[in-house]
Amino acid sequence: MKNRNTRIIMGIMAGLVLFSSSVALLLYLKQSKHKETAQNNIEVFVAAKNLKKGDLLDAGSIKKAKLPKSYISFTPLTDSEIISHYARVNIYKDEPIRLEKISALKPVEKIKQTVKKSETKVQTTLNKVQQVTEDTLSVSLSVFKNKNTLLRGGDYVDIASVIPSSTKTDNFNTRYIALHVKINNFVSNGKTLSTPISYNAKKQIIRADTIVFLMSPKDIKNFLAVYYKTQALNANRVYNTNNYGGQLWMIKTPKVIDENLQAQKKRLMVDRKVYRKRAKKQHQKVKISYEK
């Protein structure tokens, strides 16, 4: 009887050992499969909804998704590289956001204009490229040396650059980059703000990290040229605390333009062309007479 009980106990213990081993093996295989899946997947940002060409991307336009590495043939973008950019083409829901499908500037559309001829009264539809007067340019507030918290959307500013002389470090060259630029809005983590500092429902301070300007193509060209020049001076920042590199400044200006003051500022523009009159050589006229 005693041997029988011993055999029963040994059988139960052997069953428990086999059951525990099976559970452990199952968990190990499941964990290995999960780890293998995680290693084969990569996290990218995809469209959270259908986006049309020209739509401005914000935090609600994108979401994170894990896709197989074999499916990703491009470098995934971060959220800061996507937000405040425009869709260059139509982007469908759950489609990965690629660099070639977004742009910092709003794409120019071709519009149809109806031309009416009074004599023949014939209407002809023509494809004409829309003439761009202003574009939106998103700029990080960190690139500016001064941060005016009193600025509001709709205000106007002048943008100036301060670059040290190549020969003397204590001399600086100051030039205007863009004049009378309108502030469209501010952005904080993809959300549009009208002021650089605001408060949420919990009375917490929200600080804008980006400012959006309405600028002409000429001003954008000047700004980007000086931006990269000052960035090169500072290695990886447009300003530094030691003032050894270039700086960018915003100067608030009235909404109504003073023509005399504006003319003075234009003479200090970075791309101002100076036309010099060349002295004309005076040729002496010699009259030759022949005697008969």
Q: What is the DSSP letter of 154?
A: T
Per-residue confidence (pLDDT) for residue 182, from 0 to 100? 93
Assign 35 a pLDDT band (cuts: 50, 70, 90).
Answer: low
Pairing of strands 62-68, 86-87: unpaired
- What is the average pLDDT value for the chain, to the nearest integer? 77
| Closest by Cα among 248, 140, 133, 137 to 196 | 140
**Number of domains within the chain:** 1
- Residue 221's alpha-carbon distances to 7, 22, 126, 156, 215, in angstroms, are 90, 68, 30, 19, 10
Per-residue confidence (pLDDT) for residue 185, from 0 to 100? 93
Which range of 116-120, 163-167, 204-208 scores highest in mean pLDDT? It is 204-208
Higher pLDDT, 9 or 152: 152
Per-residue confidence (pLDDT) for residue 169, from 0 to 100? 63
Residue 176 lies in a domain: yes
CB 187, CB 83: distance < 8 Å? yes
Backbone dihedral angles phi then psi of residue 14, each to the nearest 5 degrees: -65, -40
The Cα–Cα gap between 223 and 245 comes to 16
Under 8 Å CB-to-CB from 104, ≥6 apart: which residues? 85, 86, 137, 138
Residue 198 lies in a domain: yes
Beta bridge pairs of residue 157: 181, 252
Residue 32 lies in a domain: no
Under 8 Å CB-to-CB from 197, ≥6 apart: which residues? 149, 205, 206, 207, 208
The Cα–Cα gap between 100 and 102 comes to 6
Residue 43 lies in a domain: no
277-286 tens-digit pLDDT: 444 444 444 4
pTM of this structure: 0.45
**pLDDT (average), residues 55-78:** 84
Residue 40 lies in a domain: no
- Residue 170's alpha-carbon distances to 91, 145, 164, 292, in angstroms, are 51, 18, 7, 77
* Portion of the chain with pLDDT greater than 90, in percent: 19
Residue with tokens 């500016």: 144
Residue 217 lies in a domain: yes
| Closest by Cα among 229, 221, 213 to 173 | 229
* Portion of the chain with pLDDT greater than 70, in percent: 72
The Cα–Cα gap between 164 and 106 comes to 34
Residue 78 lies in a domain: no
Per-residue confidence (pLDDT) for residue 165, from 0 to 100? 72
Residue 66 lies in a domain: no
CB 145, CB 174: distance < 8 Å? no
Domain around 230: 135-266
